[in-house]
Homo-oligomer: A and B are copies of this chain.
Amino acid sequence: MPPIITLLTDFGTADSYVGEVKGTLLSHVHGAALFDITHHVPPGDLRAGQYILGRVWQRFPQGTVHLAVVDPGVGTARRALAAGAAGHFFVAPDNGLLSCLPADTHFVSLPIPPGAAPTFDARDVFAPAAAQLAIGASLTQLGHSITDAYRSPLPAPRHDGTAVAGEVLYVDRFGTLVSNIPGEQVEPGVRIKVAGTEIGTLARTFGDVARGQLVALVGSGGTVEIAVRDGSAARLLGVGVGAEVRA
């Protein structure tokens, strides 16, 4: 089976950068199968990058190598990482992007090859390392193990005595507000509020409300979402990432 490598970046798809990374990967592993997760993470948005990677990586088969580069600090002194967790492999900057991985993740720090462009690690550091992992190199062949990878996990909800208090983690293409409150933490009959606006109790799906109506439901990522059927909750409510959600 050809090795699988996924790509998640904030490079956009208009420039040469994604193509240069793909070419570098294929020059190292001719038969690799490359899959774009997204290149449209908002520039430097580590929270969005971490959220998306956290939803996607376990959907791929074991053995997959995930190249993830969202890097507001590219060219600064932060380290370049490779990591392994649950049979998957990762390469990413040491800036918290991999905070979605489990606590027992094995991290190594990658050496910077001579001649690497300081502003394009994705091509000159991460792609060669991903290629090595794809052809079976072990993490410790690529770098030295570290135990202090930078972790900046997404905020967790808390119970403040009267309700579960969380926040909007992500707003998707459809304007749906995705919170960090797991569906199973919502008591039956509780009314969901977003930034002070009461949405109602949890529905099962969009189909339970009329077009243009707000609805709270447990979304496909397992947490409470606030949506507008055939519309945008973000626009209707005028709120976005960080808005308080109470359940």
**Residues on A facing B (Cβ under 8 Å):** 1-2, 4, 6, 8, 11-20, 22-24, 26-27, 30-31, 33-41, 43-44, 51-52, 55-61, 64, 72-77, 117-120, 123-124, 170, 172-174, 204-208, 217, 219-221, 230
Inside 8 A of A205's CB, which chain B residues have their CB?
74-76, 118-119
* Chain copies in complex: 3
- Indicate if the CB atoms of B18 and A37 lie closer than 8 Å: yes
**Residue of B35, B60, B124, B207 touching A118 (CB-CB under 8 A):** B207
Nearest Cβ distance between residue A245 and chain B, in whole angstroms? 17
Q: A11-B173, A207-B76, A230-B72 are known contacts. Are A37 and B16 too (CB-CB below 8 A)?
A: yes
- Indicate if the CB atoms of B27 and A13 lie closer than 8 Å: no
- Indicate if the CB atoms of A172 and B15 lie closer than 8 Å: yes
- Indicate if the CB atoms of B123 and A220 lie closer than 8 Å: yes
Nearest Cβ distance between residue A20 and chain B, in whole angstroms? 5
Inside 8 A of A58's CB, which chain B residues have their CB?
23
Q: How far is the CA of A242 from the CA of B230 in the complex (A)?
A: 21
**Residue of B4, B19, B26 touching A26 (CB-CB under 8 A):** B4
Nearest Cβ distance between residue A212 and chain B, in whole angstroms? 12
**Residue of B8, B16, B57, B217 touching A119 (CB-CB under 8 A):** B217
- Indicate if the CB atoms of B219 and A60 lie closer than 8 Å: no
**Residue of B26, B38, B219 touching A35 (CB-CB under 8 A):** B26
